[in-house]
Structure 1
């Protein structure tokens, strides 16, 4: 690998990670508008983590997602990576969409529908990453686990707040 291709590779890595962190920042901005008001007043299950846990966990997950997408981008020809990266982009949009629906619009039931579609999107993306780069698929697993946990949390909050 030449110095120039190494530089391009590192720039691409930074861009993938920054894209994911940027989506996270947008979701965080939407979340912040409700977390101390509407969300604070909701009934939550006993297993609901403290608010301070979410930021650090999501930051690590967004970095892992960015690295996974970068590994796919750099590992195959564009014809082979176009589909998996398109799926990645779609699930990233769904990720942001859930924050908008749950915290921005304060629609718990609609957010539940959104996060179930997100669950499927993450699974399909990880499966599409696997033939291109096995490690990239594995890097998506902590994210999948967290989104699955968030789905259970969303269901619990929806059941505890039927009129919200």
Structure 2
């Protein structure tokens, strides 16, 4: 879809520099769309299902999650964009597929955890997400060290989120 979108503008006399920046906008919009869709299922305020759960002592205040995820989604978008800019190759295609898979798993976690309120299933989703993030870092590194490093804060945060998800699951098993 992204390639088709950029090719559409390429054939309409849009300069290479404009295409480059247009593709960055597409990546930012894609990542923040995933964020917004995930947020539609996320309710953490007073009286919410999440608010009623027993949480571990290391659970951060709800106000921390929004700013952290905003920065992370920007880094995710920049990383994907840097890989997209590389010359077409099997490695680039593989890395872009991994990029899309991690976005889908990221969205799925919000849907499973908050939408379906399935903490245990969400834990398995986030473990797979964490593994896919590590795989992305490994493959992206071969194309762009900067793109790989942009995913490191994401990997660290998802490591923490995995621990948090697992602790919440254990504390709320009925």
| TM-score, scaled relative to structure 1 | 0.94
Give yes or no for contact 2:91–2:139 (8 Å, CA) kept in 1. Answer: no
Q: Deviations over 1:66-125 (max 9, x none)?
A: 000000000222443111000000011000001111000001111111100001110111
Please give the secondary structure, in 2, of the residue aligned with 1:75: coil
The match for 1:64 is 75
More helix per residue: 1
The match for 1:154 is 165
Where do 1:14-163 residues align within 5 Å? 14-32=25-43, 35-36=45-46, 37-163=48-174
Give yes or no for contact 2:42–2:115 (8 Å, CA) kept in 1. Answer: yes
Q: Which has the higher contact order (CA 8 A, sep 6+)?
A: 1
Q: Deviations over 1:35-74 (max 9, x none)?
A: 5411000000111111111111101100000000000000
Please give the secondary structure, in 1, of the residue aligned with 2:81: helix
- Give the root-mean-square deviation of aligned CA atoms: 1.3
Gaps of 5+ in 1: none
Inter-partner Cα distance in structure 1 for 2:31 and 2:136: 15
